Structure 1
C-alpha cells in the first residue's frame, strides 16, 4: 500500500511553471481535489499534506531542497513515519514519454533524471513506485536543461494537466495496494 506520494520539483515562484515541476503539479492537484493544504515542515525540508482515501491515510510531500537534492527530504519523512521505500510513490517529469502520457512502474534506474538519482542514493534503494509524467524530449541532450527549466506551450500544458487528472483517478487503487489494477486502468 502506498503511504507517501512525493512530487519532485523545484521550489519558488521562478520555477512553478516549469516542466520539471510536473511532480509538484500532481501532488498539488491531489491536495486540491481533497481540500487539503500543504504546510511547511522544516524537519522534512519540505511541505507536506495528508489525505484520507477510503479510510487510508496517505501523505503528500513536496521537497523544498530543489530537484537534485530531493532524497534527504524523502528519507527524513520515511524515517519519521516508519514508511518503507516500497510504500512510496515518487511522481516526476519524464523526458522519455510523449506529452500527455503517464506511466506507473516499480523500481528501475534513474534514466539520467537527477532528482531520481538523488532519491535512490539517499534511500539506498530503487524499489519505490514511480509515476512518470511525460513531457517529451527536446531532441538534443544539449537542450534538456533549458527545456525542463521552461514552461510548456499552452497545448502541452493542457495535455499534461489532462494526464495528471487521469492519473489522479488511480491513487485510491494505489493506496489500497491494487497496483495491477491501477496500472491496467492507467495504461489502457
Structure 2
C-alpha cells in the first residue's frame, strides 16, 4: 500500500494557488484511479483506490501547510505505511514552472510543509514529487507568490506540472524511482 499525500492549505481562498499544487495533483490522481468518496480521518481528507492492483490511500491534510506532518504521521500509523511507501507531492520554487522532479529523501529547502513532515516522522527518507512553480517575479514576496493564483501562461504551466505530477506519482508506485526519474526528470 502507498500513501500519496498532496500538500496544500484547506479553504476556498487557497484553492488552485501555487502552494496547493499537491492538492490539485492528488485530485487528478483521484480522478485517474476512480476515487469519488472522500472522508475526514487523522486530520486529512482521504480517499482509497487502487492502481494496477496496488492499494493507494490519497490524502490532503486539512491542517495548514505548516503543520502537515501531524496528519501524515497519523495516517502512516493508521494504515501501517512505512516511509518508503510515502509519496509527498508539493510545490517547488527551485524548479521551472510546468516541470517536475521526483526524488527520494533530501531536505526541506525552506518548505514548511516538508519541514513539518521531516520533524514529525523523524526521517527525511520518503518519496517526493516536486511540481515546479518557479520563483516570484521581481521583488514579489515568496509568500504572496505561492498563495496567488497563476494567470494566463503561468496557469497553463501550473496545470502541466500537476498533470505530470499525477502521471509521475502513479508511474513511481508501479515502476520504482529509477525508471520514474529517467522518464520524468
TM-score normalised by structure 2 residue count: 0.94
In structure 2, the gaps of 5 or more residues are: none
The number of aligned residues is 185
CA distance in 2, matches of 1:127, 1:11: 26
Is residue 58–residue 175 contact of structure 1 (8 Å, CA) maintained in 2?
no
CA distance in 2, matches of 1:141, 1:109: 25
* Corresponding position of 1:181: 179
1:115-147 CA deviation, whole Å, 9 max, x = no partner? 100010011110011111011111568700111
CA drift of 1:52 comes to: 1.0
Q: Choose the corresponding residue for 2:104, options 95, 103, 106.
A: 106
In structure 1, the gaps of 5 or more residues are: none
- 1:10 and 2:13 correspond: no
Q: CA RMSD in A?
A: 1.6
CA distance in 2, matches of 1:112, 1:31: 28
CA distance in 2, matches of 1:125, 1:164: 26
Is residue 89–residue 165 contact of structure 2 (8 Å, CA) maintained in 1?
no
After TM superposition, the structure 1 = structure 2 runs for residues 86-101 of structure 1, keeping only pairs within 5 Å, are: 86-101=84-99
CA distance in 1, matches of 2:76, 2:139: 33
- 1:128 and 2:94 correspond: no
Other structure's SS at 2:156 match: helix
Is residue 54–residue 172 contact of structure 1 (8 Å, CA) maintained in 2?
no
Is residue 8–residue 64 contact of structure 2 (8 Å, CA) maintained in 1?
yes
CA drift of 1:101 comes to: 1.2
CA distance in 1, matches of 2:91, 2:61: 15
Mean CA deviation greater in 129-138 or 161-170: 161-170
CA distance in 2, matches of 1:94, 1:119: 16
Change (3 A) 1:142 1:166: closer
